Chain A
Amino acid sequence: MRVLVQGAGVAGLTAAFELAVRGATVTVAEIRHALGGNASWFAGGMLAPWCERESAEQPVLDLGRDAAEWWEAVTPGQVTRAGTLVVAAPRDAGELERFASRTSGHRRVDEDEIALREPDLAGRFRRGLLFPDEAHLDPRQAMAAVHDRLSAMGVEFRFDADARHISGFDRQIDCTGMATDDDRLRGVRGEMLILRTPDVSLSRPVRLLHPRFPLYVVPRADRRFMVGATMIESHSGGPVTARSMIELLGAACALHPAFGEAEIVETGVGVRPAFPDNLPRVEARGNTVAINGLYRHGFLLAPAMARQAADLVFNHDGTKELAHETVGQRRSA
């Protein structure tokens, strides 16, 4: 079966992999001239379904639980399994209690254990939560790794290619995110920074709870740290605003004052596609299967969505049109 995957973001890459390993002849068409520039490129890369459950619904935990395993298997060496540390300033202790009561899969850590796990945070926080089963990756390296793996498997990549003008495939997988024509989708703007400093070292993503400016810092290679991310109801992909920058930097400095001396090596904006319930969907229409609405959970939920899409493609007789159906997890309430 010949399948055209439209879009080389995290949804497209994971879908291409699931289809290719099941024997499809896969072509990936991407409108940009290279990997990157999409929402996935600006993601945090946290595989943190237990933490996300604080504001996300149960399907995010159910679908995201196995994500770290998938990424480890497909992109060996890319995943760091060191958990997530959640801390709050003493005056925001209530936020920590709130977070703990909304989530599972964590244990409480005291000042000594925080110092042991993250020596640079020693003496800065007296209480925290450790989510030991969570993991993280560098989205850009992981995307490149999937790309290379797919190329080695014989998947063809066409960059600068508008998929609307490409034909001759049995199936199409629409992974174009905000570019797709779907009235239900809205954009949720996320702004992020990449800082570089030799003065701070972290082994795992750290979330700093704050009633107004919650923040996460994800350590990356070369002394870089991804600091994110705002959540604004807007489809604007314009530059980071001064206000958001101030909030992000203020929170980063509250986590560790040495971030004040860091270099800002990059600022970025991603527009996350979201359905009204902020949960993803895999839907079939005619010969097209669409994966969309990954919201702020691209790397976390893409593997599960890719599997569902591949199931849809392969469980149907190639001569029959796909029925209009939804496999996405809908909220039950």
Chain B
Amino acid sequence: MFELLGTTLPSRLLLGTAQYPSPAILADAVKASGTSVVTVSLRREMAGGRAGEKFWSLIRSLGVRILPNTAGCHSVKEAVTTAKMARDVFGTSWIKLEVIGNHDTLQPDVFGLVEAARILCEDGFDVFPYTTDDLVVAERLLEGGCKVLMPWCAPIGSALGPVNVMALRSMRGHLPGVPLIVDAGLGRPSHAANVMELGFDAVLLNTAVARAADPVGMARAFGKAVDAGREAFSSGMLEPRDVAVPSTPTIGRAVFS
């Protein structure tokens, strides 16, 4: 169980809905992962008014909470407009805010992000900002009204896993009370377990599942990894040591004479 903005969610895995071989496989993957929140992108489908309605209704029929996103937006204005459309289409104040600053790395434009977050928070949105692992930006987003942060662990779709563990640790350490969801860059279940062991509250991923040879199997594997990582974090892990410590001590061993 996981408390997020006053909502209790059964799973700490959030799943994106793009790039699956078919909506049927997406539905099976959502089920297999146990996820309770899916993200859906609005931007490209807007080509003709509600021309993407059919796909959206498939997403709605999954029976999980929807976190619309502003994927592909490169400016504050675009992102704010898309967020408002998303609120109308899905009837939720939740919005995953993406303001992309670099076309190649899909790195967030943190300046635009802070500005858009402030505008949307004032307008009553619950903003989930997709940000870097920069602590100062994180603080600005919180000042702007965000109650949740979504730091990357590597560029979107890169499958690299956590590339700067020190920064992630530092963010977790500095913001103990803020729900932190690692978004983007996870490639395999061990990456998800890794960031969950660091104490992050949840992870969001898409490509690693959608583009797997068997998305349904991979979704299930990620679900388990997220649970394992969280349980390990709550159970207190052993810190690494420089010397070997036998698990069977010499002292106290039975003596046969």
A residues 274-311 touching B (CB-CB < 8 Å): 274, 276-279
Chain A residues contacting B22 (CB-CB under 8 Å) are: 57, 274, 276-279
Residue A238 lies at the interface, judged by CB distance under 8 Å to chain B: yes
Chain B residues contacting A243 (CB-CB under 8 Å) are: 44
Interface size on A, residues (CB 8 A): 28
Q: Report the minimum CB–CB distance from A40 to chain B (whole Å).
A: 20
CA distance A331 to B54 in the complex (A): 21
Q: Report the minimum CB–CB distance from B186 to chain A (whole Å).
A: 15
* Residue ID in chain A nearest B59 by CB atoms: A233
Residue B24 lies at the interface, judged by CB distance under 8 Å to chain A: yes
* Residue ID in chain A nearest B159 by CB atoms: A94
Q: Find out whether the CB atom of A189 lies under 8 angstroms from the CB atom of B47.
A: yes
Q: Find out whether the CB atom of B213 lies under 8 angstroms from the CB atom of A236.
A: no
Chain B 207-225 against A: per-residue CB contact (8 Å), 1 yes, 0 no?
0000101001000000000
* Residue ID in chain B nearest A230 by CB atoms: B44
Residue B173 lies at the interface, judged by CB distance under 8 Å to chain A: no
Residue B28 lies at the interface, judged by CB distance under 8 Å to chain A: yes
Chain B 93-116 against A: per-residue CB contact (8 Å), 1 yes, 0 no?
000000000000000000000000
B residues 26-61 touching A (CB-CB < 8 Å): 27-28, 44-45, 47-49, 51-55, 58
Chain B residues contacting A237 (CB-CB under 8 Å) are: 48
Q: Find out whether the CB atom of A277 lies under 8 angstroms from the CB atom of B52.
A: no
Q: Report the minimum CB–CB distance from B62 to chain A (whole Å).
A: 11
* Residue ID in chain A nearest B61 by CB atoms: A276
Chain A residues contacting B216 (CB-CB under 8 Å) are: 333
Residue B157 lies at the interface, judged by CB distance under 8 Å to chain A: yes
A residues 187-222 touching B (CB-CB < 8 Å): 187, 189, 211-212
Chain B residues contacting A235 (CB-CB under 8 Å) are: 48, 51, 53-54
Contact of B52 among A57, A101, A234, A279 (CB under 8 A): A234
Contact of A234 among B21, B24, B25, B51 (CB under 8 A): B51
Q: Report the minimum CB–CB distance from B74 to chain A (whole Å).
A: 11
Q: Find out whether the CB atom of A211 lies under 8 angstroms from the CB atom of B47.
A: no
CA distance A144 to B22 in the complex (A): 32
Chain A residues contacting B10 (CB-CB under 8 Å) are: none
Q: A: which residues have CB within 8 A of B? A: 55-57, 98, 101-102, 185-187, 189, 211-212, 232-238, 241, 243, 274, 276-279, 331, 333
Top 5 nearest A-B pairs (CB, nearest first) are: A236-B48, A186-B54, A236-B51, A233-B55, A277-B24
